[in-house]
Amino acid sequence: MLAYLPEAISLAFSWHALIALVAASVLGVVVGVLPGLGSALGLVMVLPITFGLEPVAAIAVLVSVYACSIYGGSVSAILINVPGTPQSAATVMDGYPMAQQGKAALALGWATMGSFIGGMFSLVMLVLLAPELARFSLRFGPIEIFALILF
């Protein structure tokens, strides 16, 4: 499975995918900053746009909007004490007091680095463990699938 990794990287760094990734990142941060909008609504908004894109660019757009909207929620949580997304609710407890002390840039920097490191770690784990998880999931029967849905 890892034999296809170089080809996947070359597809991911094509011009179409990179331009779509940057535009979707900006849109994702805007969606995350606005309280009440969330990552799910961001995905719903860009889903019709992805139908006209190449498959790699479409996946890049969806992943980028989702990840950046979660990060964008921490911006409003730190600056105005209102989490933009439910995932950034805990950021209010430490980020907003730091902003009141004049350390808003430091809090935003920590939120950015935390989001980046967590995202990169998750990506590496996904690339390494996805083939094994796929093989394991093929052994699931009806009882295991029901238990997975229930819990």
Per residue in 113-139, pLDDT tens? 999 999 999 999 998 999 899 999 999
Cα separation, 82 vs 22, in Å, equals: 26
Confidence of residue 1 (pLDDT cuts 50, 70, 90): low
pLDDT at 36: 86
The phi-psi region of residue 142 (left if phi > 0; otherwise alpha if psi is between -120 and 50; otherwise beta) is alpha
b/e per residue 100-112 (b: at least 16 CB within 10 A): eeeebeebbebbe
- The tokens of 18 are what? 């990179």
So what's the pLDDT on residue 16?
Answer: 83
- Predicted TM-score of the model (pTM): 0.81
For the chain, give the percent of residues with pLDDT over 70. Answer: 99
CA distances from 130 to 85, 113, 120, 133, 135 (A): 27, 25, 15, 5, 9
List, for residues 96-113, the tens digit of each pLDDT value: 999 999 999 999 999 999
